[in-house]
């Protein structure tokens, strides 16, 4: 059963030391449990914070505070920030946590957001209680990833002529919801292709195994059975950190596990939390 949409929460903004504006939502459960850690949710490349609506609803029902935001270059955040590196992205995540005075949080990151979560945990370990990576690993991506991203963005029929056409193109309503819908019914991207290509540079040119091996926090690594993450990479992650690393594969899920199988993802997260 799909969880109902969360109650509307205000979209607020904060400004980082580089002048980048970050749009975020900070949501508290109606009956918070002071012993439960907050969650910080990080979306992937070309995504937006609305992708986490379903998981947010479930986590709030469990009693957790949930913080999510549009990464720099995405959504309602600054469209053309000065730096799209993963180092800058991790600094932004830490700024969000510290500005909102969050207790050590459980970081959940999907795809490129997972790499951001990993680096945030590596560089600011005291801010992170646990890590959940969805279709994300420390391994280097294909060297031609920026070219792949550029080619993919070139296929977008922008502006999208209708909401239905956007849902059909992307395969998920959530991606269509991330577009800027004008009064004439057309949908426009809230990203700049050049910045998306720039964001793909770091994972295409290096691996992050050095950061992975420094982590000490409990980590759940989630793979979609039909996703883009090879099972061998999860095995390697467990080999490097066997005590703290937990692995799971969600059946009938692709790269967007959080959209394909939200209930199963929540169940995997709940099981993981039971063993913390």
Q: What is the pLDDT of residues 85-104, one digit of tens each?
A: 999 999 999 999 999 999 99
pLDDT in tens, 29-52: 988 888 999 999 999 999 999 999
Going by pLDDT thresholds of 50, 70 and 90, the confidence category of residue 276 is confident
pLDDT reported for residue 1: 45
- Could you write out the DSSP letters of every residue in 148-216? HHHHHHHTS-SSBS-HHHHHHHHSSHHHHHTSEE-TTS-EE-SS-HHHHHHHTHHHHH---HHHHHH--
Q: How far apart are CA 38 and CA 40, in angstroms?
A: 7
pLDDT at 9: 86
Spans of all domains in the chain: 12-142+205-274
* Residue 197, both tokens: 């290509």
Above 90 in pLDDT, residue 3? no
Q: Has residue 5 got a pLDDT over 70? A: no
CATH superfamily of this structure's domain 12-142+205-274: Alpha/Beta hydrolase fold, catalytic domain (3.40.50.1820)
**251-267 mean pLDDT:** 98
Alpha-carbon distance 245 to 221, whole Å? 7
The per-residue pLDDT for range 167-183, each reduced to its tens digit, is: 999 999 999 999 999 99
Q: pTM for the whole thing?
A: 0.96
8 pLDDT above the threshold of 80: no
Q: pLDDT tens across 186-243, in order?
A: 999 999 999 999 999 999 999 999 999 999 999 999 999 999 999 999 999 999 999 9
- Please report the pLDDT score of residue 6 as a whole number: 45
Per-residue pLDDT reduced to its tens digit, 119-167: 999 999 999 999 999 999 999 999 999 999 999 999 999 999 999 999 9
The answer, yes or no, to whether residue 2 has pLDDT greater than 60, is: no
| pLDDT score at 213 | 97
Helix axes 53-61, 262-274, angle to 10 degrees: 40
């Amino acid at each position: 059963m799909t969880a109902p949409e969360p109650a509307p929460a205000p979209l607020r903004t904060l400004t980082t030391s580089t002048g980048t504006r970050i749009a975020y939502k900070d949501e508290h459960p109606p009956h918070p449990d002071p012993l439960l850690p907050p969650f910080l949710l990080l979306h992937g490349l070309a995504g937006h914070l609305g992708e986490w609506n379903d998981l947010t609803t479930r986590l709030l029902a469990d009693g957790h505070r949930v913080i999510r935001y549009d990464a720099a270059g995405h959504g309602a955040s600054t469209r053309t920030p000065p730096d799209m590196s993963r180092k800058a992205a991790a600094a932004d995540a830490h700024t969000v946590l510290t500005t909102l005075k969050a207790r050590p949080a459980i970081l959940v990151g999907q795809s490129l957001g997972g790499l951001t979560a990993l680096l945030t945990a590596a560089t600011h370990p005291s801010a992170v209680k646990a890590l959940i990576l969805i279709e994300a690993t420390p391994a280097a991506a294909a060297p031609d990833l920026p070219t792949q991203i550029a080619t993919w963005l070139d296929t977008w029929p922008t502006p999208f002529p209708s909401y239905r056409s956007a849902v059909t193109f992307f395969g998920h309503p959530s991606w269509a919801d991330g577009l800027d819908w004008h009064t004439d019914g057309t949908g426009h991207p809230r990203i700049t292709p050049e910045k998306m290509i720039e964001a793909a540079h770091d994972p295409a040119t290096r691996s992050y195994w050095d950061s992975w091996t420094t982590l000490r926090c409990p980590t759940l690594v989630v793979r979609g059975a039909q996703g883009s993450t090879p099972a061998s990479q999860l095995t390697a992650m467990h080999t490097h950190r066997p005590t703290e690393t937990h692995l799971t594969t969600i059946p009938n899920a692709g790269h967007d596990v959080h959209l394909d199988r939200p209930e199963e993802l929540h169940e995997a997260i709940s099981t993981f939390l039971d063993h913390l």
